[in-house]
C-alpha cells in the first residue's frame, strides 16, 4: 500500500531523531551483555543504518534495495568477528526492533494517521525487518564459517611447522600464544589413523577435552595434547598413538616415532588407544627390516613358509614369549593343553637353533632375537598368504 504523505513525514522524522536512535542503542545494549561490551559508537553506527533502511522501505516499499541486505549481512559478519554469540546478537536486534515498532505506532497515532494505515505499516515493517534479520544471521554464519576455516588453517600450519622436518623455522611465541600453546610448555604428541575430515572433527572434539591443538598433518588427525589423553573414548576402528609429554623443540622427532608406531600397530591390526612407549620394542625392531631378514634367515631358515605345521610352531613360540615364557598361561591363551605347547616348542628346537623351553636359560637379548625372528617370519608368511 503506498504510504500517505503524513506517514512518510512521521517515519522520516523518526529516522532523523537522535533521541530515538539513542533509545534503540540502549535497548539493544541492555538486552545483550555481549553487545554492550562493544563500543557504543559501533552499536550506534549499525542501528542507524538499519533503522534508516527499515523506515525507508516501510514508507516506500519500492526503495528496498540489495544494499540494505548487504549492510545487514555486514553487521552479522562484524559481530561474528568480534566474538559476539549469535543468540546475544539476535536479542539485541530484536530488542531494538520491538522498540522501533512501538515508537513508530505511538508517533503515527499522535500525528493522526488512521489505525488501518498504522496496522498495514506495522505489518510491512515486520516483513522487511524480518528479512533484514535473516540477512544478519546469514552474514554471521558465513563469517563464522570463514573464521573457523581461517583459525583451523592457521593451527594446522602451526602443527606442521612444529612437527614436520623442513617445515620452516620454529613459530614465534606470539603465534604459539594465539594457538593456545605455551612456548615453554610440554605437550603429548598424538597421531591417529583418521584421515576423513568428518571423522577427524568428531575425534578432535573428543581430544579437546585434554586441551591442546589438533589438525590434519600428513593426511592424519594429529595434535599436541596438554594432558595425557588416556581414557579417551574412540569410535570402533580408530587407532591412536600418544607420546609422553615433551618440550616443543623435541616434538619433530617424537612425531616421527609416533608415525612409525602407528604403522607398526596398524600392521598388527591393533585398534584403540596406545602409548608410544608401550610399542618401543616393535618400533625399534621394525626400523631395521634388512637386519630382521638376516636374523630370520639365520635362525628360522629351516622353516617352510608353505607348511601349516611350521606356522603353528612359530605362532606358538611367539605366544610363549609374549606371555612371559609361562607354559600354562600360553596354553590358556591359545586354548591348548600345556603338553601341546611343550611339544611344539620341542619340535621347533629340533628344527632351529631356538631353544625356548622353561629351563633353557636364555638371556634377555636372546629372547629379543628369538621374538624378532619369529615375528618377522610370521609377518612375511601372513603377507604372502594374503
* Half-sphere exposure in the Cβ direction for 353 (13 Å, CA): 13
Q: Is the pLDDT of residue 174 over 90?
A: no
Cell of 279: 610399542
Residue 385's pLDDT band (boundaries 50, 70, 90)? low
Residues 6+ away with beta carbon under 8 Å from 319: 330, 333, 334
Q: What pLDDT score was predicted for residue 1?
A: 47
User: What is the percentage of the chain residues whose pLDDT exceeds 70?
Assistant: 92
Residues paired with 24 in a beta bridge: none
Could you report the per-residue pLDDT of 276-329, keeping only the tens digit for each? 999 998 898 888 889 999 999 999 999 999 999 999 999 999 999 989 889 999
Query: Of 91, 102, 103, which Cα lies nearest the Cα of 19?
Result: 103
Residues paired with 190 in a beta bridge: 223, 242
Residue 12 CB: number of other CB atoms within 10 A? 14
Q: What pLDDT score was predicted for residue 191?
A: 95
Measured between alpha carbons, how far is residue 4 from residues 52, 100, 310 in Å? 18, 20, 100
Residues paired with 191 in a beta bridge: 222, 241
Beta strands 186-192; 272-275: pairing state: unpaired
Q: What pLDDT score was predicted for residue 124?
A: 80
Classified as helix, coil or strand, 4 is coil
Considering only residues 379 and 359, tell me which one the structure prediction assigns the higher pLDDT. 379
Query: Of 198, 243, 240, 249, which Cα lies nearest the Cα of 224?
Result: 243
CA–chain centroid gap for 307, Å, is: 48
Q: What is the rounded distance in angstroms from the CA atom of residue 371 to the CA atom of residue 49? A: 77
Task: Look up residue 353 and give its DSSP letter.
Answer: S
Residues 6+ away with beta carbon under 8 Å from 329: 323
Could you report the per-residue pLDDT of 24-71, keeping only the tens digit for each? 888 888 888 878 877 777 778 778 777 877 777 776 665 556 677 888
pTM for this structure? 0.59
Cell of 65: 534495495
Mean pLDDT of 226-252: 92
Could you report the per-residue pLDDT of 355-366, keeping only the tens digit for each? 787 665 567 888
Q: What pLDDT score was predicted for residue 386?
A: 47
Q: Is 272 left (phi over 0), alpha (psi -120 to 50) or beta?
A: left
Residues 6+ away with beta carbon under 8 Å from 314: 300, 303, 348, 374, 377, 378, 381
Measured between alpha carbons, how far is residue 312 from residues 117, 236, 317 in Å? 94, 30, 8
Q: What is the rounded distance in angstroms from the CA atom of residue 121 to the CA atom of residue 386? A: 77
The per-residue pLDDT of the chain, averaged, comes to: 86
Residue 18's pLDDT band (boundaries 50, 70, 90)? confident
Segment of 80-94, 245-259, 343-357 carrying the highest mean pLDDT = 245-259
Query: Of 92, 125, 130, 94, which Cα lies nearest the Cα of 108?
Result: 125
Domains of the chain (ranges plus CATH)? 5-147 (1.10.490.10), 185-278 (3.30.70), 288-385 (1.10.10.2840)
Query: Of 42, 37, 28, 33, which Cα lies nearest the Cα of 74?
Result: 42
Residues 6+ away with beta carbon under 8 Å from 61: 124, 128
Could you report the per-residue pLDDT of 125-136, keeping only the tens digit for each? 888 888 888 988
Q: What pLDDT score was predicted for residue 298?
A: 93
Residue 127 CB: number of other CB atoms within 10 A? 13
- Answer yes or no: are the C-beta atoms of 222 and 164 closer than 8 Å: no
Amino acid at each position: 500500500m503506498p504510504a500517505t504523505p503524513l506517514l512518510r513525514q512521521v517515519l522520516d522524522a523518526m529516522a532523523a531523531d537522535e533521541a530515538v536512535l539513542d533509545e534503540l542503542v540502549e535497548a539493544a545494549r541492555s538486552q545483550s551483555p555481549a553487545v554492550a561490551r562493544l563500543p557504543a559508537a559501533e552499536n550506534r553506527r549499525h542501528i542507524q543504518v538499519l533503522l534508516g533502511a527499515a523506515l525507508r522501505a516501510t514508507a516506500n516499499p519500492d526503495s528496498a534495495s540489495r544494499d540494505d541486505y548487504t549492510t545487514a549481512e555486514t553487521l552479522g559478519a562484524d559481530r561474528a568477528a568480534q566474538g559476539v554469540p549469535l543468540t546475544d546478537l539476535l536479542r539485541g536486534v530484536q530488542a531494538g526492533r520491538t522498540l522501533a515498532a512501538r515508537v513508530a505506532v505511538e508517533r503515527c497515532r499522535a500525528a493522526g494517521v488512521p489505525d488501518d494505515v498504522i496496522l498495514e505499516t506495522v505489518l510491512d515493517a515486520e516483513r522487511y525487518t524480518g528479512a533484514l534479520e535473516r540477512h544478519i544471521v546469514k552474514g554471521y554464519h558465513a563469517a563464522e564459517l570463514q573464521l573457523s576455516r581461517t583459525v583451523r588453517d592457521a593451527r594446522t600450519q602451526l602443527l606442521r611447522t612444529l612437527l614436520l622436518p623442513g617445515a620452516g623455522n620454529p613459530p614465534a611465541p606470539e603465534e604459539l600464544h594465539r594457538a593456545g600453546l605455551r612456548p615453554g610448555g610440554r605437550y603429548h604428541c598424538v597421531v591417529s589413523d583418521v584421515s576423513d575430515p568428518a571423522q577427524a572433527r568428531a575425534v578432535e572434539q573428543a581430544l579437546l577435552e585434554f586441551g591442546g591443538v589438533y589438525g590434519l598433518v600428513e593426511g592424519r588427525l594429529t595434535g599436541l595434547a596438554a594432558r595425557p589423553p588416556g581414557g579417551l573414548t574412540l569410535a570402533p576402528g580408530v587407532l591412536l598413538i600418544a607420546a609422553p609429554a615433551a618440550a616443543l623443540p623435541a616434538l619433530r622427532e617424537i612425531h616421527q616415532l609416533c608415525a612409525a608406531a602407528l604403522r607398526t600397530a596398524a600392521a598388527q591390526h591393533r585398534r584403540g588407544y596406545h602409548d608410544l612407549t608401550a610399542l618401543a620394542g616393535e618400533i625399534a625392531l621394525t626400523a631395521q627390516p634388512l637386519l630382521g631378514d638376516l636374523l630370520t634367515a639365520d635362525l628360522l631358515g629351516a622353516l617352510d613358509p608353505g607348511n601349516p605345521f611350521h606356522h603353528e610352531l612359530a605362532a606358538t613360540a611367539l605366544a610363549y614369549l609374549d606371555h612371559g615364557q609361562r607354559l600354562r598361561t600360553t596354553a590358556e591363551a591359545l586354548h591348548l593343553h600345556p603338553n601341546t605347547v611343550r611339544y611344539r616348542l620341542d619340535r621347533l628346537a629340533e628344527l632351529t637353533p631356538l631353544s625356548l623351553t622353561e629351563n633353557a636359560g636364555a638371556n634377555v637379548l636372546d629372547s629379543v632375537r628369538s621374538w624378532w625372528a619369529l615375528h618377522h617370519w610370521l609377518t612375511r608368511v601372513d603377507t604372502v598368504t594374503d
